[in-house]
Structure 1
Amino acid sequence: MGEFTEQEWEQIFSEMEANPDLYGLPERVPGSILLASFNIRKLGNPDKRSAMTWKFLGEAIRNFDIIAVQECMDDMDGLLRLMKELEGFKFISSDKTGVFPGDNGLAERLVFIYRIATVELGEVISDITYDRSKVSQLIHDNMDSLIEAKEKYDRALTDYERKRRRTKPKFDLPIFLSFIRQPFCSSFKAGIGYEDYEPYCFMAINAHLIFGSKKDRWREFEALMTWIKGRVENREKMYHPSFILLGDLNLDFDDPDKDIKKMENLMKKLDVESMKEVHVNFPFLDPHPTESEHFTSNIRLSQRYDQIGLFFHDNDGLGKGFPTHKENKSCGQDKQGPDYGVFNFTELFAKALTGESFSMKSSVKQRVFARRYEHEVSDHMPIWLRLKLKKRTSSSS
């Protein structure tokens, strides 16, 4: 079985049009905005995807107002091909990150696609890095562990050079020094065009964190959380005082009860430690009120790599309306939001093409079925967040 035929795509589009809610594809509702994050696997050479696939990708994301896209290759032809399916949208992109210029390796761009009728791009756009003084301090504070790691690496390299080891060792840093791919940050005003509602103003961060050891993943995540929290606390100096993180954080939740608890504890710690009432909320850490289990975002429905995080102040008018952690349990009750979900195209494909749920298939059949679209479409599914816009008062009209 290869990629989908044109007839199979017609079945998929027919099922999606008939039952979008069943698969978590949100409808546009006046008075709300929809934000999404979508890791589109190796979005590069347009010839490596069929015309029907490009059409599907366009249909999958055209309902949203801002979409953070990960894994856009240095070759932007694929992104430009996708934009042909998205009339009324524009994009901004980072330069390639993940590989030093001139070196071999898989580099990518981080991209924001946004609807021009409802979203206005701000003046502040930047990568996120740790400055030299911070990195120097980290090296100084962890010198002993760095020396120990170097000595371990040198011994392994000697074994490799003397044929006592088959594979060349990799030097694993025992601490965080820099991101594997620099997160990309941009300012937005979202919700323009609705005369009766106030738009949201916020900094959006698009991140694709390291896919390495669990320790490496956690170090990068903690570093990013610390950076965001530090910026949000200095609200009087910020262009916009609220942040929204969207991305593939590669957090390993193989043991959901244990791993999610660890992340929740970090979130609560950041919340409590802040002396300026910074709220931190990751809605996808909670099961949706209509679901018995947490949403998954990979096509095999087994992982929770993709996340959306909110960082804001209680008494900040521009952040008012962002749901707190306590409000997650009531998400979805109001059509205007707040709400969150996943466009589960794995389930869509399974129902449209086989007539049965993906979860009813054996693990072997699941793997075989997923292989048909993990490269052609993606190995991740879009996750989304709906925010309710605040009604304008007579004084703000």
Structure 2
Amino acid sequence: MADLTADEWSKINSLLASDPYKYGIPRRTYGSAVLGSFNIRKLGKASSRSTNTWDFLAHICKHFDLLSIQEIMGDLEGFEKLVSLMGPEYRSIVSDKTGQFPGEQGLGERLGFIYNRNLIRLGNIISDISYDRTKVLKTIVNNYKVLVETATPYVKYLQARDAWQENPTGPEPKAPKVQIPVFLNFIRQPFSASFEIVGHPETKPYRIMAVNAHLYFGNSVEDRRQEFDALMEWILGGVQEKDNTSFPNFILMGDLNLCFSNPARDRPRIERHIKTFNQNMQAAGSGINVNFPFLDIHKGFTEPFRTNARLSETFDHIGLFSHDPRLPSYDKNPEMGPEPPQGPDYGVVNFVELFREALEVPPIESLTNQDKKDFFRKFEHEVSDHLPIWLRLPLPEV
């Protein structure tokens, strides 16, 4: 099957118009702001997607007030087109390319934020996130022996490659796969920016440091956990700093690649791991609440949300690290829902189910493996292989 045709898009748009909020698109509700995260697969040249696709993406994205975007390519044309289609009230900021050294091969990505300037004010702190040199050096010294053992095959490869370049006979040596046993730095540097979420007149805004991350995806569970733990260490260190009074609350919105091959098995382990951060904060008497709502089952559903387009994993998350008692704490997650309409609430935009129903495809669980591949192939590249996730916050009232 090819990408979605014009006729198929007509069916999709017609079904969506008949029930605009059935598939999880958050309503525009007075007195609330909607935060979200969306990994839009290889968001690059405008010509890489059809007009129908751009219109659909813009329709979804303009329901958010602060949206983090992952997988923005070096060419910003598509990202800028998306922002322009969302309307004049939206502005954006974007990181430099990360994950690729300039001039060398690799897949460099940018991370971006789109915000509704009617409700969201951009602050004066914008930064990539990396581990400083002293911390990296300490890690190298503490793990010197195992790092040397791990790096030895790569050193031999470099020597063989240099010899081959001087005398190119036989096949060119191939680089070995090296799994670094300790965390040194992020495969893609997370991107952070300060924002204020404006409330009713004479109220104090939510002051947040938004963190946009696209963490490591690979076969190694340990590599994934190292990156996640390093990011948690960075955020928790920042939220605990006593002189961090300008933007004391952190909200992580990104593709964390937390679920692995078996969500039913892996989710409880991940949940226990994350909840230790909150327990440690409470034990220290810091007054900091750590909350990952997408680890819990929403009261309107029977199982946790899936966030990849194949509906098998929960890669994407929104995490709150807050001093502000007005922001939802983890113990309030079971109460979150559409009532009151101002929130707090959270959800996923399930465009896969929209496409399935509009195109009259049988339930996914009843499809053969080949039929599943054919169905997913129609939109995983054209639209995305991730679903947008969102968190609704009541606007400040005090």
Change (3 A) 1:93 1:341: same
Tell me, yes or no, if structure 1 residue 320 matches structure 2 residue 325: yes
One-letter identity of the residue aligned with 1:132: R
Instruction: Determine the structure 2 residue equivalent to 1:185.
Output: 192
Instruction: Work out the CA distance in 2 between the residues paired with 1:113 and 1:143.
Output: 42
One-letter identity of the residue aligned with 2:397: K
The equivalences for 1:20-31 within 5 A come to 20-31=20-31
Tell me, yes or no, if structure 1 residue 370 matches structure 2 residue 380: no
Per mean C-alpha deviation after superposition, the further-off stretch among 3-12 and 31-40 is 3-12
Cα distance, 1:357 vs structure 2: 3.8
Match of 1:308 among 315, 318, 321: 318
Per mean C-alpha deviation after superposition, the further-off stretch among 164-173 and 123-132 is 164-173
CA offsets per residue over residues 136-189 of structure 1, 9 Å max, x none? 111111112212212355578899999999953122211100001110000001
Instruction: Determine the structure 2 residue equivalent to 1:168.
Output: 175
Cα distance, 1:101 vs structure 2: 1.1
Per mean C-alpha deviation after superposition, the further-off stretch among 117-126 and 232-241 is 232-241
CA offsets per residue over residues 58-115 of structure 1, 9 Å max, x none? 0011011011000111110111111221112010000111111111111011000011
Instruction: Work out the CA distance in 2 between the residues paired with 1:359 and 1:347.
Output: 12
Query: Contact between 1:232 and 1:312, CA under 8 Å: does it hold in 2?
Result: yes
Tell me, yes or no, if structure 1 residue 330 matches structure 2 residue 335: yes
Match of 2:275 among 226, 250, 268: 268
Instruction: Work out the CA distance in 1 between the residues paired with 2:85 and 2:184.
Output: 39
One-letter identity of the residue aligned with 1:203: M
Stretches of structure 1 that go unaligned for 5 or more consecutive residues are: 314-318, 393-397
Tell me, yes or no, if structure 1 residue 285 matches structure 2 residue 292: no
Instruction: Determine the structure 2 residue equivalent to 1:34.
Output: 34
Instruction: Work out the CA distance in 1 between the residues paired with 2:318 and 2:228.
Output: 13
Instruction: Work out the CA distance in 1 between the residues paired with 2:363 and 2:205.
Output: 39
One-letter identity of the residue aligned with 2:267: I
Q: How many residues align?
A: 386
Query: Contact between 1:25 and 1:60, CA under 8 Å: does it hold in 2?
Result: yes
What RMSD, in angstroms, separates the aligned Cα atoms of the two structures? 2.3
Tell me, yes or no, if structure 1 residue 381 matches structure 2 residue 387: yes
Tell me, yes or no, if structure 1 residue 92 matches structure 2 residue 93: yes
Instruction: Determine the structure 2 residue equivalent to 1:231.
Output: 238
Cα distance, 1:11 vs structure 2: 1.4
Query: Contact between 1:288 and 1:329, CA under 8 Å: does it hold in 2?
Result: yes
CA offsets per residue over residues 232-283 of structure 1, 9 Å max, x none? 1114334211000000111233322432222222223222323213211111
Q: How does the TM-score come out when normalised to structure 1? A: 0.91
Change (3 A) 1:97 1:156: closer
CA offsets per residue over residues 216-237 of structure 1, 9 Å max, x none? 1110000000110011111433
SS in 1 for 2:27: coil
Query: Contact between 1:124 and 1:239, CA under 8 Å: does it hold in 2?
Result: no
Cα distance, 1:39 vs structure 2: 0.5
Stretches of structure 2 that go unaligned for 5 or more consecutive residues are: none
One-letter identity of the residue aligned with 2:28: R
Instruction: Work out the CA distance in 2 between the residues paired with 1:2 and 1:106.
Output: 25
Instruction: Determine the structure 2 residue equivalent to 1:246.
Output: 253
Per mean C-alpha deviation after superposition, the further-off stretch among 122-131 and 170-179 is 170-179
Percent identity between the two aligned chains:
45
Cα distance, 1:6 vs structure 2: 1.7
Cα distance, 1:294 vs structure 2: 1.0
Change (3 A) 1:354 1:230: same
Instruction: Determine the structure 1 residue equivalent to 2:68.
Output: 68
SS in 1 for 2:14: helix
SS in 1 for 2:196: strand
Q: How does the TM-score come out when normalised to structure 2? A: 0.91
Instruction: Work out the CA distance in 2 between the residues paired with 1:238 and 1:363.
Output: 53
Query: Contact between 2:356 and 2:362, CA under 8 Å: does it hold in 1?
Result: yes
SS in 2 for 1:84: helix
Instruction: Determine the structure 1 residue equivalent to 2:121.
Output: 120
CA offsets per residue over residues 32-70 of structure 1, 9 Å max, x none? 110010001111111111111100000011011011000
